[in-house]
Structures are given as C-alpha cells and as structure tokens.
Structure 1
Amino acid sequence: MILRDHILLNGNVEVWSKALINNRTAFVALFPQPYGTPIHMSINLTDLGLGRFDE
C-alpha cells in the first residue's frame, strides 16, 4: 500500500492515509523513533459523517 496524505501531530507523530474502496480510508500512525510502533486502522468515512469526492 502506498500512503499519500500525511500530517504531523504533537510529539512528531506522523499520520499517513490512503483512500480505499467502499468509502474506507486506511491510516497508519508512526510514533517517534527509536521505540515507535506503527498502528494500522481502517475507518468508514460515512461513520464519521464524511464522504469522498473526485476532483
């Protein structure tokens, strides 16, 4: 999976996302080095009250 959208949170936590099929988006949160552990999650955008549109 190639992640494309990226934000940087407090404490240098990086969050990457990628749009998937069926209104789903994959997120990966990477915590600061050297002891960081990646966390993988998938969220249905409609559960969040959001939708996807194509530009």
Structure 2
Amino acid sequence: MTTVLIADDQPLQRMGVRMLLEGTPGVTPVGEAAHGAEAVRMAAELRPDVVLMAI
C-alpha cells in the first residue's frame, strides 16, 4: 500500500485529489496540508511514501 500526503493551498483541490486517491486500490491518503510549512511538518510526522504537492 502506498501512503500519500496531499499539499495544496486550495481546499477544494485537496478534497478532489483525496476523493480520487481514495478510489484507487493500493493508495491511501494519510493527510492534507494547506501550506508548505505544514506539509514539511506532516511529512516528518506521518512519513508518507509520496507527497503530492502543488507548485
């Protein structure tokens, strides 16, 4: 199973990505971050396999 942290400043975008990932077998979203600093903190805490981050 692949764990994913979603990072984007747009709540609707995060929700849409989470819904897509939840419907994908073998992929589990483990958290959502609204900005870069939060994403770094959550990545250190949750240790996801992938961080999906908007640029």
Higher relative contact order (CA 8 A, sep 6+): 2
| TM over 0.5, shorter chain | no
**TM-score calculated relative to the size of structure 2:** 0.24
Larger Rg: 1
**TM-score calculated relative to the size of structure 1:** 0.24
- Greater fraction helix: 2
- Greater fraction strand: 1
